């Protein structure tokens, strides 16, 4: 029982990390209908930029500000060069463009900052400790706290600020939002900036855990089943999906993987998501779609 709890909690905390990548994705999908395959590359790009600036001797806050600035520039460039020319194109075109973007970001980040593994030290202690006989890691708890704070900040932005309300209006009905004078390009920039910031936070936490390396961009492949289970357009759904996938994956690896052989955590979340979709095609908290001819 105690072992089960440890695996479960470890999985839930890993799931929080998946959810962080998924949240950036949801932000963009909700406001613009773009299936952003480059979210994982944005995580890698942010983490590599940050770690390279720190390695050149800059203090933490300066590096953070510079990286945030780079993510803002990226969002502006994406809106200008990618989203604007693709207005009213089919969603497949936008997906393919973000796939191209992910190649550009991965190649550029590695060409600029090198492909080796960078260690990232955030100054967060990673002490194991026990609660009721269950072994926990302080770093994972810290990450969970950050994720909770992130969701709270996003909820505040959405509910209280002018741009947040504009984003919600566009997500609800883009044509009506245009009619009342909301500027779509501005909203798109805002959500890409927000997704970039979420990517930066996710990149720092992931990077501190496993080192800043190419595999960070593969987090998008972990985030996909999370999104499917949670629903593409719901932030709480992304969090919930992350927890389900994280826990399910670790439990499967420990209890099923011992019989089938290791490595099932690569495909298990996808099969889980697939089974899930057969029962509920719009995900846990996603909105059902209406078909019109």
Partner 1 sequence: MAFFPSLPGVQPRPAPRLRSRPTDLLAAAGFAVAAAAIAWIGNDYWFSAVLVPFLVLALAGLGLNLLTGFAGQLSLGTAAFMAVGAFAAYDFQLRIPGMPLLASFALGGLAAALLGLLFGLPSLRIKGFYLIVSTLAAQFFVEWVFTRFSWFSNDSASGVISAPPLVVLGHDFGTPRGRYLLTLGIVLGLAVLARNLVRSQTGRSWMAVRDMDTAAAVIGIPVFRAKLLAFAVSSFYCGVAGALWAFAYLGTVEPHGFDLDRSFQALFVVVMGGLGSVTGPFLGAAFVVLFPIFLDRAAGAWLGGAIDPGTLQNLEKVLFGGLVIWFVVREPEGLARLIFNVRDRWSRPLSPRGTGAVALPGFTEEKSP
Looking at 3-11, 147-155, 161-169, 260-268, which segment touches partner 1 (CB under 8 A)?
260-268
Joined tokens for residue 243:
């927890």
Q: Is 92 in the site for partner 1 (CB under 8 A)?
A: yes
One residue of 1, 56, 111, 160 binding partner 1 per CB under 8 A: 111
Cβ proximity to partner 1: between 31 and 43 the closer is: 31
Q: Does 126 bind partner 1 (CB under 8 A)?
A: no
C-beta closer to partner 1: residue 46 or 201: 46
Where b means 16+ CB within 10 Å and e means fewer, 238-269 reads bbbbbbbbbbbbbbbbbeebeeeeeebbeebb
Per CB under 8 A, the list member of 14, 19, 171, 194 interacting with partner 1 is: 171
The tokens describing 197, both together, are: 């910031």
Nearest to 208 by CA among 60, 36, 26: 60
Q: How far is the CB of 264 from partner 1 (least distance, A)?
A: 7
CB of 41 to partner 1, least distance (A): 9
Q: What are phi and psi of 128, to 5 degrees?
A: -80, 140
- CB of residue 287 to partner 1, shortest distance in Å: 7
Rounded distance between C-alpha atoms, residue 51 and residue 53, angstroms: 5
Compute how many other C-beta atoms are within 10 angstroms of the C-beta atom of residue 277. Answer: 14
Is residue 179 a contact residue for partner 1 (CB under 8 A)? yes
Which one, 143 or 199, has the nearer CB to partner 1? Answer: 199
Instruction: Tell me the number of residues near partner 1 by CB under 8 A.
Output: 71
Spatial distance between the Cα atoms of 143 and 61, rounded to a whole number of angstroms: 19
Q: Where are the alpha helices (DSSP H) in 180-256?
A: 184-210, 219-230, 235-255
CA distance 67 to 90: 32
Q: Which residues contact 99 (CB under 8 A, 6 or more apart)?
A: 37, 38
Least distance in Å: CB of 11 to partner 1?
A: 19
Residues 213-252 that bind partner 1 (CB under 8 A): 221, 224-225, 228, 232-233
Cβ neighbours around 76 below 10 Å, total:
15
108 interacts with partner 1 by CB under 8 A: yes
Does position 4 bind partner 1 by CB under 8 A?
Answer: no
Choices 129-137, 154-162, 199-207, 269-277 (CB under 8 A): range interacting with partner 1: 269-277
Give, as ranges, the residues between 30 and 69 that touch partner 1 (CB under 8 A).
Answer: 31-35
Residue 125 or residue 261: which is nearer to partner 1 going by CB?
261
Considering only 3-11, 84-92, 144-152, 242-250, which stretch makes contact with partner 1 by CB under 8 A?
A: 84-92
CA distance 14 to 245: 9
């Amino acid at each position: 029982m105690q072992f089960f709890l440890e695996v479960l909690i470890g999985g839930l905390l890993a799931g929080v990390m998946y959810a962080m990548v998924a949240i950036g994705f949801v932000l963009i999908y909700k406001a613009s209908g773009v299936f952003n395959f480059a979210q994982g590359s944005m995580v890698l790009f942010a983490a590599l930029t940050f770690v390279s600036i720190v390695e050149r001797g800059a203090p933490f806050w300066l590096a953070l500000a510079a990286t945030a600035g780079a993510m803002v520039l990226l969002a502006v460039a994406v809106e200008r060069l990618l989203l604007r020319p693709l207005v009213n194109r089919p969603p497949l075109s936008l997906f393919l463009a973000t796939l191209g973007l992910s190649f550009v970001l991965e190649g550029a980040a590695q060409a600029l900052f090198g492909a080796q593994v960078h260690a990232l030290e955030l100054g967060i202690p990673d002490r194991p400790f026990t609660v009721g006989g269950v072994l926990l890691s302080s770093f994972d708890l810290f990450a969970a706290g950050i994720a909770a704070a992130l969701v709270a900040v996003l909820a505040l932005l959405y509910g209280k600020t002018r741009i947040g309300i504009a984003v919600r209006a566009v997500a609800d009905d883009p044509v009506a939002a245009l009619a009342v004078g909301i500027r779509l390009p501005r909203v798109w920039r805002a959500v890409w900036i927000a997704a970039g910031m979420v990517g930066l936070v996710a990149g720092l936490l992931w990077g501190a855990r496993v080192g800043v390396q190419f595999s960070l961009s593969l987090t998008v492949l972990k985030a996909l089943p999370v999104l499917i289970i949670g629903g593409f357009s719901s932030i709480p759904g992304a969090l919930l999906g992350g927890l389900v996938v994280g826990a399910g994956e670790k439990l499967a690896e420990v209890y099923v993987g011992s019989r089938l052989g290791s490595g099932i955590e690569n495909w298990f979340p996808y099969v889980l998501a697939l089974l899930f979709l057969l029962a509920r095609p719009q995900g846990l908290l996603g909105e059902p779609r209406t078909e019109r001819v």
